[in-house]
Structure 1
């Protein structure tokens, strides 16, 4: 398996462990000293904080939710370091069989992965809500070209 395929295994594992509500499995896909920056600015450092930060979410508001992603681009920085960017979002349990998250739950993510033996683990993750300024009313008005 090449690096890109192995990275896809890790990224798919992130989605699967989230969707299973398994905070321990989710955290295990991160390096022991990983940095995780959530959409709201919450910073978690290390597997323990990532697990303990997600466990109450998976038992509470995020129970039964599904994580999905698309538009992933992976760039190998070196043979042992990769940067993945993608869009992703959460489909809440009450949204049923929906295939894509609602617009308010879409984020853009940057994930830095490192090779750990024969697998890849997340060493840094940053999540930003996807709200392109140019698509807002003010953004459209301010970027409109003059005639």
Structure 2
């Protein structure tokens, strides 16, 4: 895959963050395939673009009103010409962007013509204390890139 492909895939996250920041559930949902799967950090599973947009419409009006979405891309891997897996750290915030982002996310993206759409999203809340305990008692559980 080319640098352009990688840039185009990572730009999807920037565009998602822009829609989130505007509280625009329809623009946010437009980044997902019609049958996308969306799993939140609390374990809620949404199925399909409409379900994702509708749930975010309610979230942007209440619990997530006025929040921004922060992300840092960790890795992009292409599983072929039309499928990419992107991992990132991310979080929501109001005011100042946090230095440490508390969630780890996996996006599976598919090419749809000249754009990329999210076919599956999974969001996991990091538990740094549990990681430190695990790594202290079983150092071999620490990811190789962090040893």
TM beyond 0.5 = yes
Please report the RMSD computed on the Cα atoms of aligned residues, expressed in angstroms. 2.0
Runs of at least 5 residues in structure 1 that lack an aligned partner in the other structure: none
2:9 maps to what in 1? 7
TM-score by length of 1: 0.85
* CA contact 1:90–1:106 (8 Å) conserved in 2: no
Aligned residues: 137
Within-5 A mapping of 1:47-126: 47-92=49-94, 96=95, 98-100=96-98, 106-126=102-122
Cα distance, 1:131 vs structure 2: 1.2
TM-score by length of 2: 0.85
Give me the whole-angstrom Cα distance separating, in 2, the residues matched to 1:143 and 1:13: 40
Runs of 4+ with deviation above 4 angstroms: none
Runs of at least 5 residues in structure 2 that lack an aligned partner in the other structure: 140-147
Give me the whole-angstrom Cα distance separating, in 2, the residues matched to 1:71 and 1:100: 15
